[in-house]
Amino acid sequence: MNLVTEMPKNIQLLHCAKHGDYEMRFLPMGTKFFKNDYCPKCAVENNQKQRAEDAQLAKKQAADLVRRSRIEAGVSLRNVDACFDDYVPEEDHEAKNLASIKLFCNKIQLDGSGNMVMCGSLGTGKTLLMSATVNQLLASGKRCRIVKMQDLIRELKDCWRPGAHFTETQLIKKFASIDLLVIDEVGMGYGSDTEKLFIFDVIDGRYNNMLPTVLVSNLDITGVKEAVGTRVVDRLREDGGLVLAFTGRSRR
Protein backbone atom coordinates (compact mmCIF):
# COMPACT_ATOMS: atom_id res chain seq x y z
CA MET A 1 0.00 0.00 0.00
CA ASN A 2 1.53 3.34 -1.15
CA LEU A 3 0.59 6.98 -0.79
CA VAL A 4 -0.05 8.95 -4.01
CA THR A 5 -1.15 12.51 -4.68
CA GLU A 6 -3.92 11.78 -7.17
CA MET A 7 -6.00 8.95 -8.57
CA PRO A 8 -5.37 7.79 -12.14
CA LYS A 9 -8.13 8.45 -14.64
CA ASN A 10 -8.06 4.92 -16.03
CA ILE A 11 -8.72 1.68 -14.20
CA GLN A 12 -5.53 -0.13 -13.37
CA LEU A 13 -5.65 -3.92 -13.44
CA LEU A 14 -3.38 -6.16 -11.42
CA HIS A 15 -3.08 -9.92 -11.52
CA CYS A 16 -3.19 -12.45 -8.68
CA ALA A 17 -1.77 -15.86 -9.46
CA LYS A 18 -4.54 -17.43 -7.39
CA HIS A 19 -7.60 -15.27 -8.11
CA GLY A 20 -6.83 -13.68 -11.47
CA ASP A 21 -7.21 -10.00 -12.42
CA TYR A 22 -8.46 -7.36 -9.99
CA GLU A 23 -8.67 -3.56 -9.92
CA MET A 24 -6.19 -1.38 -8.10
CA ARG A 25 -7.98 0.38 -5.24
CA PHE A 26 -7.40 3.93 -4.08
CA LEU A 27 -8.45 5.00 -0.61
CA PRO A 28 -8.68 8.75 0.17
CA MET A 29 -6.71 10.06 3.11
CA GLY A 30 -6.76 13.82 3.48
CA THR A 31 -5.51 15.33 0.22
CA LYS A 32 -3.80 12.13 -0.87
CA PHE A 33 -4.71 8.52 -1.63
CA PHE A 34 -3.55 5.15 -0.44
CA LYS A 35 -2.84 2.85 -3.34
CA ASN A 36 -3.85 -0.64 -2.27
CA ASP A 37 -2.38 -3.20 -4.63
CA TYR A 38 -3.22 -6.23 -2.49
CA CYS A 39 -5.65 -8.80 -3.94
CA PRO A 40 -9.02 -8.27 -2.20
CA LYS A 41 -9.89 -11.97 -2.30
CA CYS A 42 -6.55 -12.84 -0.74
CA ALA A 43 -7.29 -10.23 1.93
CA VAL A 44 -10.65 -11.87 2.72
CA GLU A 45 -9.08 -15.31 2.90
CA ASN A 46 -6.28 -14.08 5.14
CA ASN A 47 -8.78 -12.36 7.44
CA GLN A 48 -10.83 -15.55 7.68
CA LYS A 49 -7.71 -17.56 8.41
CA GLN A 50 -6.64 -15.09 11.09
CA ARG A 51 -10.08 -15.19 12.74
CA ALA A 52 -9.98 -18.99 12.75
CA GLU A 53 -6.50 -18.98 14.28
CA ASP A 54 -7.58 -16.42 16.89
CA ALA A 55 -10.62 -18.53 17.76
CA GLN A 56 -8.47 -21.65 18.07
CA LEU A 57 -5.99 -19.80 20.28
CA ALA A 58 -8.80 -18.47 22.48
CA LYS A 59 -10.21 -21.99 22.78
CA LYS A 60 -6.81 -23.36 23.79
CA GLN A 61 -6.27 -20.57 26.31
CA ALA A 62 -9.70 -21.24 27.82
CA ALA A 63 -8.93 -24.97 28.04
CA ASP A 64 -5.54 -24.22 29.62
CA LEU A 65 -7.25 -21.96 32.17
CA VAL A 66 -9.70 -24.74 33.05
CA ARG A 67 -6.89 -27.27 33.47
CA ARG A 68 -4.86 -24.84 35.57
CA SER A 69 -7.82 -24.13 37.87
CA ARG A 70 -8.37 -27.87 38.34
CA ILE A 71 -4.72 -28.53 39.14
CA GLU A 72 -4.67 -25.62 41.59
CA ALA A 73 -7.73 -27.18 43.24
CA GLY A 74 -5.71 -30.35 43.80
CA VAL A 75 -6.94 -32.52 40.94
CA SER A 76 -4.11 -34.71 39.67
CA LEU A 77 -2.92 -34.63 36.06
CA ARG A 78 -4.26 -38.17 35.70
CA ASN A 79 -7.77 -36.97 36.57
CA VAL A 80 -7.65 -33.40 35.26
CA ASP A 81 -10.15 -34.25 32.52
CA ALA A 82 -12.22 -36.64 34.62
CA CYS A 83 -16.00 -36.63 34.28
CA PHE A 84 -18.78 -38.88 35.54
CA ASP A 85 -18.97 -40.68 32.19
CA ASP A 86 -15.49 -42.09 32.90
CA TYR A 87 -16.94 -44.23 35.68
CA VAL A 88 -18.90 -47.17 34.24
CA PRO A 89 -20.78 -49.11 36.95
CA GLU A 90 -20.45 -52.88 36.75
CA GLU A 91 -22.67 -53.77 39.70
CA ASP A 92 -25.88 -52.40 41.23
CA HIS A 93 -24.18 -50.91 44.28
CA GLU A 94 -21.73 -49.06 42.00
CA ALA A 95 -24.62 -47.58 40.02
CA LYS A 96 -26.26 -46.49 43.28
CA ASN A 97 -23.02 -44.90 44.48
CA LEU A 98 -22.64 -43.03 41.19
CA ALA A 99 -26.22 -41.76 41.38
CA SER A 100 -25.69 -40.61 44.98
CA ILE A 101 -22.52 -38.72 44.07
CA LYS A 102 -24.17 -37.03 41.08
CA LEU A 103 -27.05 -35.97 43.30
CA PHE A 104 -24.56 -34.72 45.89
CA CYS A 105 -22.75 -32.70 43.21
CA ASN A 106 -25.97 -31.20 41.86
CA LYS A 107 -27.03 -30.25 45.36
CA ILE A 108 -23.79 -28.34 45.93
CA GLN A 109 -24.20 -26.59 42.57
CA LEU A 110 -27.52 -25.30 43.90
CA ASP A 111 -25.78 -24.02 47.07
CA GLY A 112 -26.94 -26.98 49.14
CA SER A 113 -24.97 -28.62 51.93
CA GLY A 114 -24.31 -32.20 53.02
CA ASN A 115 -21.34 -34.45 53.72
CA MET A 116 -20.07 -37.81 52.57
CA VAL A 117 -17.63 -40.54 53.53
CA MET A 118 -16.40 -42.78 50.70
CA CYS A 119 -14.63 -45.87 51.92
CA GLY A 120 -13.65 -49.30 50.70
CA SER A 121 -11.35 -51.18 48.40
CA LEU A 122 -8.28 -49.77 46.64
CA GLY A 123 -8.71 -48.74 43.01
CA THR A 124 -12.51 -48.73 42.93
CA GLY A 125 -12.89 -45.24 41.46
CA LYS A 126 -13.36 -43.11 44.57
CA THR A 127 -10.74 -40.49 43.68
CA LEU A 128 -11.87 -40.49 40.05
CA LEU A 129 -15.44 -39.72 41.10
CA MET A 130 -14.37 -36.97 43.46
CA SER A 131 -12.13 -35.47 40.77
CA ALA A 132 -15.11 -35.48 38.40
CA THR A 133 -17.19 -33.81 41.12
CA VAL A 134 -14.58 -31.10 41.69
CA ASN A 135 -14.17 -30.53 37.94
CA GLN A 136 -17.91 -30.07 37.49
CA LEU A 137 -18.24 -27.75 40.48
CA LEU A 138 -15.30 -25.60 39.40
CA ALA A 139 -17.04 -25.13 36.04
CA SER A 140 -20.06 -23.76 37.89
CA GLY A 141 -17.94 -21.25 39.81
CA LYS A 142 -17.53 -23.10 43.10
CA ARG A 143 -14.31 -22.96 45.09
CA CYS A 144 -13.10 -26.52 45.70
CA ARG A 145 -10.06 -28.30 47.07
CA ILE A 146 -9.16 -31.98 46.94
CA VAL A 147 -6.20 -32.72 49.17
CA LYS A 148 -4.52 -35.88 50.43
CA MET A 149 -4.61 -36.38 54.17
CA GLN A 150 -0.82 -36.41 54.46
CA ASP A 151 -0.53 -33.18 52.44
CA LEU A 152 -3.08 -31.51 54.70
CA ILE A 153 -1.02 -32.48 57.73
CA ARG A 154 2.14 -31.20 56.01
CA GLU A 155 0.45 -27.82 55.52
CA LEU A 156 -0.36 -27.83 59.23
CA LYS A 157 3.25 -28.57 60.16
CA ASP A 158 4.46 -25.84 57.80
CA CYS A 159 2.52 -23.37 59.97
CA TRP A 160 4.77 -24.17 62.90
CA ARG A 161 7.96 -23.21 61.09
CA PRO A 162 9.60 -19.80 61.65
CA GLY A 163 8.50 -17.34 58.96
CA ALA A 164 5.47 -19.42 57.94
CA HIS A 165 3.00 -17.69 55.61
CA PHE A 166 0.00 -18.96 57.57
CA THR A 167 -0.79 -19.47 61.22
CA GLU A 168 -2.63 -22.63 62.22
CA THR A 169 -5.76 -20.57 62.83
CA GLN A 170 -5.56 -19.00 59.38
CA LEU A 171 -5.08 -22.42 57.78
CA ILE A 172 -8.13 -23.81 59.55
CA LYS A 173 -10.20 -20.81 58.45
CA LYS A 174 -9.01 -21.27 54.86
CA PHE A 175 -10.08 -24.89 54.71
CA ALA A 176 -13.27 -24.13 56.61
CA SER A 177 -14.44 -21.55 54.06
CA ILE A 178 -14.12 -23.13 50.59
CA ASP A 179 -17.29 -24.44 48.95
CA LEU A 180 -16.22 -28.10 48.88
CA LEU A 181 -13.36 -29.83 50.67
CA VAL A 182 -12.39 -33.38 49.72
CA ILE A 183 -9.84 -35.07 51.97
CA ASP A 184 -8.40 -38.07 50.13
CA GLU A 185 -6.36 -41.02 51.41
CA VAL A 186 -7.72 -40.71 54.93
CA GLY A 187 -5.76 -43.07 57.16
CA MET A 188 -2.39 -42.49 55.51
CA GLY A 189 -1.18 -40.19 58.31
CA TYR A 190 0.06 -41.18 61.76
CA GLY A 191 -3.31 -40.59 63.38
CA SER A 192 -1.78 -38.64 66.27
CA ASP A 193 -3.97 -36.71 68.69
CA THR A 194 -2.63 -33.46 67.21
CA GLU A 195 -3.60 -34.52 63.69
CA LYS A 196 -7.05 -35.63 64.83
CA LEU A 197 -7.61 -32.34 66.64
CA PHE A 198 -6.58 -30.35 63.56
CA ILE A 199 -8.88 -32.38 61.30
CA PHE A 200 -11.72 -31.95 63.78
CA ASP A 201 -11.19 -28.18 63.88
CA VAL A 202 -11.38 -28.03 60.07
CA ILE A 203 -14.47 -30.26 59.89
CA ASP A 204 -16.12 -28.43 62.79
CA GLY A 205 -15.50 -25.09 61.10
CA ARG A 206 -17.08 -26.37 57.91
CA TYR A 207 -19.94 -27.87 59.91
CA ASN A 208 -20.68 -24.49 61.48
CA ASN A 209 -20.40 -22.80 58.07
CA MET A 210 -22.77 -25.44 56.62
CA LEU A 211 -20.28 -26.35 53.89
CA PRO A 212 -19.96 -29.85 52.38
CA THR A 213 -17.01 -32.10 53.16
CA VAL A 214 -16.01 -35.48 51.75
CA LEU A 215 -13.63 -38.01 53.27
CA VAL A 216 -12.15 -40.63 50.93
CA SER A 217 -10.40 -43.69 52.31
CA ASN A 218 -9.35 -47.24 51.47
CA LEU A 219 -10.35 -48.17 55.01
CA ASP A 220 -13.79 -49.26 56.13
CA ILE A 221 -15.89 -46.89 58.22
CA THR A 222 -14.40 -48.28 61.45
CA GLY A 223 -10.90 -47.59 60.15
CA VAL A 224 -11.91 -44.06 59.14
CA LYS A 225 -13.14 -43.41 62.68
CA GLU A 226 -9.83 -44.64 64.07
CA ALA A 227 -7.87 -42.44 61.64
CA VAL A 228 -9.65 -39.12 62.20
CA GLY A 229 -11.66 -39.71 65.35
CA THR A 230 -15.26 -40.63 66.00
CA ARG A 231 -16.24 -36.99 66.52
CA VAL A 232 -15.25 -36.11 62.94
CA VAL A 233 -17.30 -38.93 61.44
CA ASP A 234 -20.25 -38.08 63.69
CA ARG A 235 -20.13 -34.48 62.48
CA LEU A 236 -20.16 -35.62 58.86
CA ARG A 237 -23.04 -38.03 59.39
CA GLU A 238 -25.31 -35.47 61.02
CA ASP A 239 -28.23 -34.22 58.93
CA GLY A 240 -28.17 -37.28 56.67
CA GLY A 241 -24.48 -37.40 55.75
CA LEU A 242 -23.76 -40.27 53.37
CA VAL A 243 -21.47 -43.24 53.83
CA LEU A 244 -20.74 -44.97 50.53
CA ALA A 245 -18.95 -48.32 50.47
CA PHE A 246 -16.92 -49.28 47.39
CA THR A 247 -16.33 -53.02 47.23
CA GLY A 248 -15.99 -53.77 43.51
CA ARG A 249 -12.92 -54.95 41.63
CA SER A 250 -9.89 -52.72 41.24
CA ARG A 251 -10.09 -50.59 38.09
CA ARG A 252 -6.36 -49.92 37.98
Length of the chain: 252
Q: What domains can you pick out in the chain, each with its CATH number? A: 1-72 (no CATH), 81-246 (3.40.50.300)
The mean pLDDT value for 206-229 works out to 94
Strands (E), the chain: 2-4, 13-16, 20-23, 25-29, 32-36, 116-120, 144-148, 180-184, 213-217, 242-246
| Whether 236 contacts 221, CB under 8 Å | no
Q: What is the pLDDT of residue 191?
A: 72
Dist. CA 248–CA 155, nearest whole Å = 33
Using DSSP, state whether 248 is helix, strand or coil: coil
Task: DSSP for 205-223, please give it.
Answer: HHHHTT--EEEEESS-HHH
Asked whether residue 250 carries a pLDDT value surpassing 80, the answer given is no
Nearest to 218 by CA among 240, 170, 186: 186
The mean pLDDT value for 96-118 works out to 95
pLDDT tens-digit readout, 33-45 = 888 888 989 999 9
Asked whether residue 1 carries a pLDDT value surpassing 60, the answer given is no
Dist. CA 103–CA 95, nearest whole Å = 12
Asked whether residue 50 carries a pLDDT value surpassing 80, the answer given is yes
Q: What is the pLDDT of residue 34?
A: 83
Output phi, psi for 146, to 5 deg: -115, 125
| Whether 118 contacts 214, CB under 8 Å | yes
Dist. CA 159–CA 172, nearest whole Å = 11
Which residues sit opposite 109 in a β-bridge? none
- The per-residue pLDDT of the chain, averaged, comes to 91
The mean pLDDT value for 182-186 works out to 96
b/e per residue 55-75 (b: at least 16 CB within 10 A):
eeeeeeeeeeeeeebbeebbb
Beta strand 116-120 with 144-148: parallel, antiparallel or unpaired?
A: unpaired
Q: What is the pLDDT of residue 81?
A: 95
Candidate from 71-85, 182-196, 205-219 with smallest mean pLDDT: 182-196
